[in-house]
Amino acid sequence: DLSSYDGLTGLANRRHFHQRLADEWRRAMRRAEPFGLVMIDIDHFKRFNDTYGHAMGDECLKAVACALAATLQRPCEFVARYGGEEFMAVLPDTPHPGLLLMAERMRAAVEDLAIPHATSPTAGQVTVSLGAASLAEVNRASSLTALCQVADQALYAAKAAGRNRVAGAVMDPDASPGPGSCTCG
C-alpha cells in the first residue's frame, strides 16, 4: 500500500493513478460508458510556498487533497496527486454535464477552505483551476491519451480565462493524440 499512495496527501500517487485509470478505462470500454477526467492545479502555488514556506505549502496540499476527495460520491471515482500541486480526478460513467458539476464542486470545496494567499493575483485565498474532459462513450477506437490531452487543454483554458474556474471540453470520439500530448494511459 505504501508504494501506491502519496505520503503527504494520502491520495493515490501517480503510479497508482495510472493503474486505476487503466482499470476504469477498460471497464468503461466493456460497458460502452461515458468517461470523465479532471486535471486540477492549485493557482499560484509557487507564490504560496515563497510567501508562507514549504511547511505551510505541505499543509495546504493536504487540505486541498482532502477537500477534493470529499467531493467524490461513488467508489469508482478517485483523485490522485499527479505532481507537485497537480491533481487528477477520474469520474467513470459520468456524462459531461455531471462532470462539469463535479468539477465545480471541487473548485468550490477548495475555495471554501478559505486558506489565505496574500500574494495570489487571482484571489486572497487558495484557489484551483480545473480542466474537465469527457467522452460520451468509451470504445475500442477511443484514446485515453487523447482524453488526457483534452483535459490538459481545458486546464490551460481555465487558467487563461482568469483561474479559479472550471473549463470543460467534450472529446471528439475520433480524436487521436497529437504530438507532445500527455500520456495518461
Catalytic (active-site) positions:
85
Strand order in the sheet with 166-170: 78-81, 86-92, 35-42, 128-135, 166-170
Distance of CA 90 to the CA centre of its chain: 7
49 sits in which H/E element: helix 45-52
* Residues whose CB is less than 8 angstroms from the CB of residue 101 and which lie 6 or more positions away in sequence, other chains included: none
Distance CA(97)–CA(103), nearest Å, equals 10
